Structure 1
């Protein structure tokens, strides 16, 4: 097998592979920066919880209209915002920490979503909702994912500084401006939007993977935030391409293949990443010479 057959032919010869490629590129562009901001807030697991939280809304859309893009998207958005705001309200009104409140909401949401899909759908429908169908993206779904990524980039460009400050030092932002709470809501909106976009391609269980794994990987290669954001998007795109090729040549499920490739990149970075990687930390540094 030559290089053309290995790397180019799958995308040149098959329309569904090209669609999947556009989809993962769009997800990488939108989800990469959001993942970095989540990591800065130490909310990586919050992203995972919110990814599961969109399931009951998507399931209600499925019950109402089947595998309808519009119904499942609206349902996922409503459920995601409801869980995010509900967990925050519980944390502020009680002594429970926000991560514990999110865990409770996420577990109930996941169980409820699986139950709702199982009431009407088959095992195939349940697998579609949980793991996505990146190789079966149609024009409408691609437009949705690209639209979400475009909105994310526009919002990040306009509100980049307050978003970063709200992630790094929310107390300072509240002390000097009233933009703290609105900025936090905008940030939650970006998280939910990108998770809903990822849900259509990778399912609720894996949607957060292309958001957080590239961000965590980029952290081992850059200290500058802007470089980190760029690297996260590039790593996510590379993982998408490599995962699609692995899926094509080995017959493996495409969504898990993409996330496993991203996970392999993270594992390598943990070992050799120049910014806090294991081997660089164990190697003796240079000593100053007279």
Structure 2
């Protein structure tokens, strides 16, 4: 029974193996980016960008159908436009960047859904919004692997500057750290990773694999390195369980993976040793007995 439930689907179906490899690659890259988003108090920025890529994906769909290169190029252009446009408009008008970002991503989301609904079928709309294991072909797999490799390489080079920006930006400026350039590169990698994720988990659910394991990981580690490792491990577990749940329950992969990640967050919130509810309610050891 365990073999049939846990191993047989991946052993029998090539499309599930491709989806698994893509999700594992993204699980290595997305959570570390999510950790820095959380530390910079930009957790909702990832959600806004995942919605912001939709009109570019929709235009790619209208021009070339479900072609991964066209969808990825359109999504990347739209995501970068939303990310950079929010900062530029807030500086030009003196408004808050989060308010401008909210206006842009809501407009982008509505435009993207309208464009896909105009020319696409309900099945194609569901696949683009919520993901499908059938959509992870060789081109999508290469995109996921390339995005994950680029993100990990960037983080290896930018780990110290990004950490300084999070914990001591004043010291970073005093030593000549060009935080603005690192920030732009970081946002570009976030957009690229979200674009690479949508084939498997959909544009609306792409941020789930980036942020939910991170929120859960803070209950298992205090240091930056430990939090990244915990987030990656939780993302891998959520990906495997979500793909199995999608296969057995016949539901879209995006919601299945996101729900599994949410379940792991709930368990972490209850039982995690760092600020978990059980750790807070349990009496100190010297008072036990």
In the superposition, the TM-score normalised over structure 2's length comes to 0.95
Distance 2:183 2:134 in 1: 34
- Report the alpha carbon displacement of residue 283 of structure 1 after superposing the two structures with TM: 2.1
Q: For structure 1, which runs of at least 5 residues remain unmatched after alignment? A: none
How many residue pairs get aligned? The number is: 287
Q: CA RMSD in A?
A: 1.5
Q: 1:163 to 1:137 in 2, by over 3 A?
A: same
Cross-structure match for 2:82: 83
Q: 1:225 to 1:281 in 2, by over 3 A?
A: same
Distance 1:101 1:173 in 2: 27
- Report the alpha carbon displacement of residue 152 of structure 1 after superposing the two structures with TM: 0.6
- Report the alpha carbon displacement of residue 253 of structure 1 after superposing the two structures with TM: 2.5
- Report the alpha carbon displacement of residue 286 of structure 1 after superposing the two structures with TM: 4.0
Q: Secondary structure at the match of 2:202?
A: helix
Distance 1:77 1:6 in 2: 37
Cross-structure match for 2:161: 162
Deviations 1:187-236 (A, max 9, x none): 10111011101112111110000000001111110001111111111111
Distance 2:52 2:209 in 1: 17
Q: Secondary structure at the match of 1:177?
A: coil
Cross-structure match for 2:271: 272
Q: For structure 2, which runs of at least 5 residues remain unmatched after alignment? A: none
Query: Where do 1:111-260 residues align within 5 Å?
Result: 111-260=110-259
Is 1:103 the counterpart of 2:96 in the alignment? no
Q: 1:104 to 1:86 in 2, by over 3 A?
A: same
Distance 1:283 1:221 in 2: 16
Cross-structure match for 2:61: 62
- Report the alpha carbon displacement of residue 175 of structure 1 after superposing the two structures with TM: 3.4
Moved more, 169-178 or 232-241: 169-178
- Report the alpha carbon displacement of residue 279 of structure 1 after superposing the two structures with TM: 1.9
Q: 1:22 to 1:114 in 2, by over 3 A?
A: same
